[in-house]
Amino acid sequence: MRGDDAYRRAIADARRSALALTQDLADDLLELLERVVDELAARVVTGMATRSDRETLALARAILSQLAVDMASATRRGIELTTSTVSTAYAEATAALYVANGLEAPVLFQRLNVRAAQAVLARRDLAVSLRTIRSTSIDAVESILRQAILEGTPQRLVAQRIRLHILGSEIFPDRVLLDRRRIGFEVVRLLGYEPTRENLNLVRSLGRSIAHRARRIARTEPMVAQWEANRQMAVESPVVAGFRWRVSSRHQVRDQCDTLAETDFYGLGAGIHPADLLPARPHPHCICVHTHVLRALEDWSRPKPVSPPLRIIPSAEVLELSPSEHESLVASLQAAEAGRAAA
């Protein structure tokens, strides 16, 4: 088949473009958070002496509620840009493949970018993440402000505490903020709190920075958008039979991704999944690659055959997976089956 190498390079480039867009979204979200920290410092912290306690808390809540709205808008733009970039690359690569083989390219992937973006934006996980950021940021800042009001804390320390709980700090890397057991009295002192058990519990309860959650959204959502556009395109494409799951070269430990790459779940060969049954990424931050398995040239004008059913999933012991890894693997495969049944 002529042109298949160029086709595969174009699809690989589309994936790299999606990866680059994760950094663009991360930059946008960080800029939003920095702007909110500056606004809180300028309007809330410096105005604590001239406003009532209720007015101060209400103003902080309003600023943080708007932050959640702005983050949702930025995430939507990132998702829509990703699906548009990826679907355009797929359409051009597929048309070029037809031309390379002396065929007239059909009109494909109409509004695929819109459908893929809508599917990603409708995910419950995304809505929960954005709601969590809103509620966590409001709870954290309100707790900081309430204690500061009661203690008469200097404005400089109030601003420092708010900055830590929204943006994090070079003094406290993510591994400290994520593992609350690492937050001890020395961290409490550096934050400007009295080293009491009550303040230790307070700091631990607010330990994970809002920026960490925002970075997780930025790393996850464009890649989910790339995955969804990839899946929808493969289902619609006359030239794609399925996907071969390839473990990322940066994958350092064996887990359910290795199982997806090494197991013949459908009788098509190890690691090959039908186009309409690509399983979702089984764990956060998965960056495995899904390369296209192309149909024979003479089959492009024929309807695709019905995908084979999922074979029995081996036990966790057979696959050498932990119970939680096996559970997420089964959930990914079963969700793909359920999606096909609902289509």
pLDDT digits (tens, 9 = 90+) for 299-323: 999 999 999 998 888 899 999 999 9
Model pLDDT, residue 206: 61
Average pLDDT score over the chain: 87
Q: Which one, of 207, 289, 191, 195, lies nearest residue 245 by Cα?
A: 289
Spatial separation of the C-alpha atoms in residues 253 and 340, rounded to whole Å = 31
Residue 175 predicted with pLDDT over 80: no
Structure token digits, residue 258:
């290795």
Model pLDDT, residue 195: 84
What number of helices (H) and strands (E) belong to the chain? 12, 3
What contacts 150, CB < 8 A, 6 or more positions away? none
Farthest CA pair distance, the chain: 78
- From first CA to last CA, the distance across the chain in angstroms is 31
Q: What is the pLDDT of residues 57-84, one digit of tens each?
A: 999 999 999 999 999 999 999 999 999 9
Model pLDDT, residue 281: 84
Residue 172 predicted with pLDDT over 70: no
Model pLDDT, residue 205: 67
Contact 33, 329 (CB under 8 A): no
Contact 168, 212 (CB under 8 A): yes
Spatial separation of the C-alpha atoms in residues 167 and 214, rounded to whole Å = 10
Burial class (CB within 10 angstroms; exposed 0-12, middle 13-18, buried 19+) of 52: exposed
- Band of pLDDT at residue 251, cut at 50, 70 and 90: confident
Residue 176 predicted with pLDDT over 60: no
